[in-house]
């Protein structure tokens, strides 16, 4: 069971709000932009210091309300140990939207959106764990849970659902073309601009033990043909009118 000592927690000094120092104009505190980024991407990177060594692991995740939801194995793993020890962690998500070609390598850049969350992992309460795990599954493979068997008792027992509050977040983004001015001294006859990055799912590939002619399930077809990002998981993500 993951527990904490309230006395220890109260004694830990709270960190001041973090701010971006380099190119601070690229920082955003727009909550809708944060939710949109987290709801569009599928993989983030969890970082923690374990045994005096920094460790970073890519993980699938879901945003449920104002939390990042992850899952770990009860058999071990640094994420579970970090949660048990109340060790501070960081979780980062990045979306690359394009490459920005300027007239020099120095001025070239990327269009991107990135967010880093810092905090302490906590176990999702048992009465909320099933819903959180289902939300994570449906975030990564929408609709699949209705097409497959339910989890077996030993599978449930081997899984621990963790969450990280979206309380301490820094988000940074860049969009638009290269920085240029009419009198910047550059040769404007040299091409400059943006190469957008677009991603899409490919054609489904059946496993080796799937009988030939087995129909591709609706959940796979729906995801393979979807051209727009998935809907957000709660109404709080809707932009203000």
185 located within any domain: no
101 located within any domain: yes
Q: What is the pLDDT of residue 80?
A: 67
- pLDDT band at residue 5, thresholds of 50, 70 and 90? very low
207 located within any domain: no
Is the full-model pTM beyond 0.95?
Answer: no
117 located within any domain: yes
Number of domains in the chain: 1
CATH number at residue 16: 2.30.110.10
Q: What is the pLDDT of residue 241?
A: 35
100 located within any domain: yes
| Average per-residue pLDDT for the chain | 83
Whether pLDDT at 177 is above 90 = yes
29 located within any domain: yes
**Mean per-residue pLDDT for 159-185?**
92
11 located within any domain: yes
Residue ranges making up the domain that contains 112: 6-179+190-200
70 located within any domain: yes
pLDDT tens, residue by residue, 54-95 = 889 899 999 999 999 998 776 667 766 777 678 899 999 999
pLDDT tens, residue by residue, 198-227 = 989 999 999 999 999 999 999 999 999 885
pLDDT tens, residue by residue, 120-159 = 999 888 888 888 989 999 999 999 999 999 888 888 877 8
pLDDT tens, residue by residue, 14-33 = 444 566 666 666 678 889 99
**The 3-state secondary structure of the chain, one letter per residue:** CCCCCHHHHHHCCCCCCCCCCCCHHHEECCHHHHHHHHHHCCEEEEEEEECCEEEEEEEECEEECCEEEEEEECCCCHHHHHHHHCCEEEEEEEEEEEEEECCCCCCCEEEEEEEEEEEECEECCHHHHHHHHHHHHHHHCCCHHHCCCCCCHHHHHCEEEEEEECCEEEEEEECCCCCCCCCCCCCCCCCCEEEECCCCCCCCCCCCCCCCCCCCCHHHHHHHHCCCCCCCCCHHHCCCC
């Amino acid at each position: 069971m993951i527990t904490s000592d309230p006395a220890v927690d109260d004694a830990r000094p709270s960190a001041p709000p973090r701010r971006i120092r380099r190119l601070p104009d690229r920082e955003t505190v727009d909550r809708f932009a944060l939710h949109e980024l987290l709801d569009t991407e599928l993989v983030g990177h969890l970082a923690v210091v374990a045994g005096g060594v920094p460790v970073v692991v890519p993980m699938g995740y879901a945003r449920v309300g104002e939390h990042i939801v992850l899952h770990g194995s009860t058999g071990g793993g640094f994420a579970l140990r970090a949660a048990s020890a109340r060790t501070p962690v960081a979780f980062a998500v990045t979306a690359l939207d394009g490459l920005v070609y300027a007239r020099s390598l120095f001025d070239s850049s990327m269009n991107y959106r990135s967010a880093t969350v810092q905090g302490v992992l906590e176990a999702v309460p048992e009465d909320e764990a099933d819903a959180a795990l289902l939300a994570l599954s449906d975030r990564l493979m929408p609709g699949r849970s209705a097409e497959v068997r339910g989890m077996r008792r030993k599978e449930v027992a081997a899984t621990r659902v963790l969450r990280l509050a979206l309380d301490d977040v820094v988000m940074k983004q860049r969009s638009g073309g290269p920085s240029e001015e009419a009198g910047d001294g550059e040769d404007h006859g040299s091409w400059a601009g943006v190469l957008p990055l677009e991603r899409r799912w490919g054609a489904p590939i059946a496993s080796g033990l799937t009988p030939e002619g087995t129909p591709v399930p609706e959940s796979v077809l729906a995801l393979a043909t979807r051209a727009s990002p998935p809907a957000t998981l709660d109404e709080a993500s809707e932009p203000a009118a």
